[in-house]
Amino acid sequence: MSYFDNVPQAPADGILQLSVLSKADSNSRKVDLGVGAYRDNNGKPWVLPVVRKAEQQLAQEAGDHEYLGVGGLPALTNGAQKLIFGADSAAIREQRVYSIQTISGTGANMVGAVFLKQFKQPTDAAVYISKPTWGNHRNIFETAGHEVREYRYCNYSTLGLDIDGMLSDLRAAPRGQIIVLHACAHNPTGIDPTAEQWAQIADVMQERAHFPFFDCAYQGFATGNVDRDAYAIRLFVERGFELFVCESFAKNMGLYGERTGCLHAVVASSARVAA
């Protein structure tokens, strides 16, 4: 008899299971499209030259491995702020952004979800996710204790954005709900709002006092430009929203194994960051 007899076997992760099957496949012509990771012409992992350069610098610096502050490594969080909000961001200049290092984007989502469960206003606010969305969004927010609802996103007839359905659902939601938004390269559809549509979404969210919870895992992949891919986040910041941004470097920097990410909070006043 074991203390863990009542623990069921968790289902296998569908994407990672594909990678396991791919590695076991002896077919020389195989192509693994399950994980968004860099590969060379021989299908082998390809590490970005800038990552190799950083590895060499770290080896030469011989760090002391002491405790970091509760926010993590400042060089990481400060650099991540500039990448996602822009080096000339007024929110950064006015010290209205607080960032912490997280275990990739998944960890950022989890930390944000747990924080909001304790401090969200109204206290019964639900979390709205797009239909469909990344498979872990529902699991993360439900595990943190939130009620999870959906808003329409994909028009399955046109295979485009159902902007009318999305706006209708956001309008119909009670005031002050938490809305999970994909900053770019929507997972799993790849469908992103246009600049005009993002403005419409921001309009409705301001009217309904919703809280934006951005998840950004593919900055640079949607348009090939990191600034254009941060357009929605920067628009919402310029419009005066307080918001969360989950940022992952697993895909755009090829750092899956390092689990590198950040959670950013943008607030109305620098006094709130100091608190």
Phi, psi (deg, nearest 5) at residue 175:
-60, 145
The catalytic residue positions are 134, 215, 251
| Cα(152)–Cα(174) distance, integer angstroms | 16
Q: What is the pTM of this model?
A: 0.92
Phi, psi (deg, nearest 5) at residue 106:
-65, -45
Buried b (16+ CB within 10 A) or exposed e, 224-259: eebeebbbbbbebbeeebebbbbbbbbbbbbbbeee
Residue-by-residue pLDDT tens, the chain, 275 positions: 899 999 999 887 777 787 788 888 888 888 777 777 788 888 788 899 999 998 999 888 877 888 988 999 999 999 999 999 999 999 999 999 999 999 999 999 999 999 999 999 999 999 999 999 998 999 999 999 999 999 999 999 999 999 999 999 999 999 999 999 999 999 999 999 999 999 999 999 999 999 999 999 999 999 999 999 999 999 999 999 999 999 999 999 889 889 999 999 999 998 888 75
Phi, psi (deg, nearest 5) at residue 145:
100, 10
| Cross-strand partners of 112 | none
Q: Is 191 left (phi over 0), alpha (psi -120 to 50) or beta?
A: beta
| Cα(100)–Cα(261) distance, integer angstroms | 9
Q: Give the Å distances, CA to CA, from 143 to 4, 136, 148, 218.
A: 19, 10, 10, 24
